[in-house]
Structure 1
Amino acid sequence: MKIGFIGTGVMGSRMAQRLLSHGFQVAVHNRTFPKVQPLIENGAKYAETISELSSQCDIVCTCLSMPQDVMNVYIGKNGIIENAQPGKICIDFTSVGADTSKTIFELAGGREISYLDCPVSGGPEGAESGTLTLMAGGEKMAFQKVKPVLDVLGDTIEYLGPSGSGSIAKLINQYLVAVHSLAASEAMVTGASYGLDSEQLLKVLKASYGDSRILRRHMEQYVFGRLFTPGGAVKYVHKDVRLANQLLHEAGLSQYTGQMAEKAFQTAAEKGLCDQDMSAVIKPLEEETGIIVKRKQ
Structure 2
Amino acid sequence: MTRIGFVGLGVMGSRMAKRLIDSGYDVTVYNRTSSKIEPLLRIGAAAATDIASLAAESDIICTCLSMPEDVWDVYEGETGILKNSLQDAICLDFTTVGMDTSVILAEKAKERGIHFLDAPVSGGPEGAEEGSLTIMVGGEQSAYERVLPILEVLGSNIHYLGGAGMGSVAKLMNQYLVAVHSLAASEVMVAGTALGLRSEQLYEILRTSYGDSRMLRRHMENYVLPRNFQPGGAVKYVLKDVKLANELVEKAGLVPRTGSGAAEALAVAVEQGLADLDMSAVIQPLEKQCSVVVKDSHIV
Match of 1:235 in 2: 236
CA distance in 2 between counterparts of 1:207 and 1:121 reads: 24
Match of 1:126 in 2: 127
Match of 1:203 in 2: 204
Other structure's SS at 2:157 match? strand
- 1:73-92 map, 5 Å: 73-92=74-93
Deviation per CA, 1:62-88, whole angstroms, max 9, x where unpaired? 000000100110112300011002110
Match of 1:102 in 2: 103
Other structure's SS at 2:212 match? coil
CA distance in 2 between counterparts of 1:254 and 1:58 reads: 42
- 1:145-294 map, 5 Å: 145-294=146-295
**C-alpha spacing 1:285/1:117, structure 2 compared with 1 (3 Å):** same
> Which moves more between the two structures, 284-293 or 246-255?
246-255
- TM-score, length-scaled by structure 2: 0.98
> Which moves more between the two structures, 244-253 or 134-143?
244-253
Other structure's SS at 1:161 match? coil
- CA RMSD between the two structures: 0.6
Which amino acid is the alignment partner of residue 176 of structure 1?
Answer: L
Match of 1:16 in 2: 17
Task: Give the aligned length.
Answer: 297
| 1:25 aligns to 2:35 (yes or no) | no
Deviation per CA, 1:229-271, whole angstroms, max 9, x where unpaired? 0010000000000000001111111352100000000000111
Match of 1:52 in 2: 53
Deviation per CA, 1:5-57, whole angstroms, max 9, x where unpaired? 00001000000000001000100000010011100111000001000000001
Match of 2:141 in 1: 140
Query: Runs of at least 4 residues of structure 1 off by over 2 A?
Result: none
Deviation at 1:201, TM superposition (A): 1.0
CA distance in 1 between counterparts of 2:58 and 2:18 reads: 17
CA distance in 2 between counterparts of 1:252 and 1:2 reads: 43
CA distance in 1 between counterparts of 2:256 and 2:242 reads: 14
Deviation per CA, 1:102-133, whole angstroms, max 9, x where unpaired? 11000000011000000000000000000000
Other structure's SS at 1:273 match? coil
- 1:107-118 map, 5 Å: 107-118=108-119
CA distance in 1 between counterparts of 2:256 and 2:199 reads: 31
CA distance in 1 between counterparts of 2:96 and 2:141 reads: 20
- TM-score, length-scaled by structure 1: 0.99
Structure 2's unaligned 5+ residue stretches are: none
